[in-house]
Structure 1
Amino acid sequence: MALALLLLLGVILAAFYVLRRFGPRLGLPLARKNTGLTFEGQLALGPKRSVVLVRFLNKVMVLGVTEQSINLLTEIDDNHDRETDFAAVLEKADPPDSSP
């Protein structure tokens, strides 16, 4: 019975470790206090180099991240409506002027 209890405790600790380690990557946010700073996304450019989107209040910051530094590439105001569907954004966009 003690062996079963230890095995169960080990499974619970392993599940806790996996959720802490890989939960945010899988879209499972952990309970944290709201600081206004949220991670939006990341695009890997190479080994230890990436572009990261971070939201702070109503600003979205595009950061260049390397092993040695973090640089602000640009800052975007987030006062517009978010369209997640690319086709809907294209339909709303003005067609290019085709006059010669």
Structure 2
Amino acid sequence: MPDATAAPLAASEYGLVAVALKMGLTLLVLLAFIFAAFWLLKRYGGKFGIGPAGRGGTLRLIDHLPVGPRKSVVVVRFLDKDLVLGITEQSITFLTEAEHVPAADFADTLAHNTQRSDAS
């Protein structure tokens, strides 16, 4: 005669495995959604004013160049000035300042240089 306790035990083990697989799959889908949202925010957030690229503040970090361990040179834009700063663990040193000149479009630059060369 078959054991009466064996059938419910086998059914409950199968149920636990199915629940664990379903939970694992749900977790993977949730993590994929979070990573996709992070990637989309990083890629397109600036266009909609979201994230660091979309901030419209007056102080912006333009570029960063590490020159040694815990030492770097950064370019910071404040209002219409580009400030070049040296940064170490102990201090921040002002190196130079320049007026910010917006980058011209390649087609405009090419047309300007072509007109200038034709005139000479």
Pair member with larger Rg: 2
Question: Does residue 10 of structure 1 match 2:31?
Answer: yes
Q: Which has the higher contact order (CA 8 A, sep 6+)?
A: 1
Residue matched to 1:95? none
- CA 1:72–1:42 in 2, change beyond 3 Å: closer, same or farther? same
Residue matched to 1:45? 67
Q: CA deviation at 1:65?
A: 0.8
Write the mapping of 1:79-94 to structure 2, written as runs, cut at 5 A: 80=101, 82=103
Aligned mates of 2:65, 2:74 — CA distance in 1:
6
Question: Does residue 31 of structure 1 match 2:53?
Answer: no
Residue from 54, 57, 60 that aligns with 2:76: 54
Larger strand proportion, structure 1 or 2?
Answer: 1
Aligned residues: percent identity? 33
> Any idea what SS the aligned residue of 1:40 has?
strand
> Any idea what SS the aligned residue of 1:35 has?
coil
Segments of 4+ moved more than 3 angstroms: 16-19, 80-85
> Any idea what SS the aligned residue of 1:67 has?
coil
- Structure 2: any 5+ residue segments left out of the alignment? 1-21, 114-120
Root mean square deviation, CA, Å: 3.2
Task: For 1:47, give the aligned amino acid.
Answer: P
Query: For structure 1, which segment, 46-55 or 68-77, has the greater mean C-alpha deviation from structure 2 after superposition?
Result: 68-77
Matched residue pairs, number? 79
Query: For structure 1, which segment, 1-10 or 39-48, has the greater mean C-alpha deviation from structure 2 after superposition?
Result: 1-10
Aligned mates of 2:37, 2:89 — CA distance in 1:
26
Q: CA deviation at 1:2?
A: 3.5
Q: CA deviation at 1:46?
A: 0.6
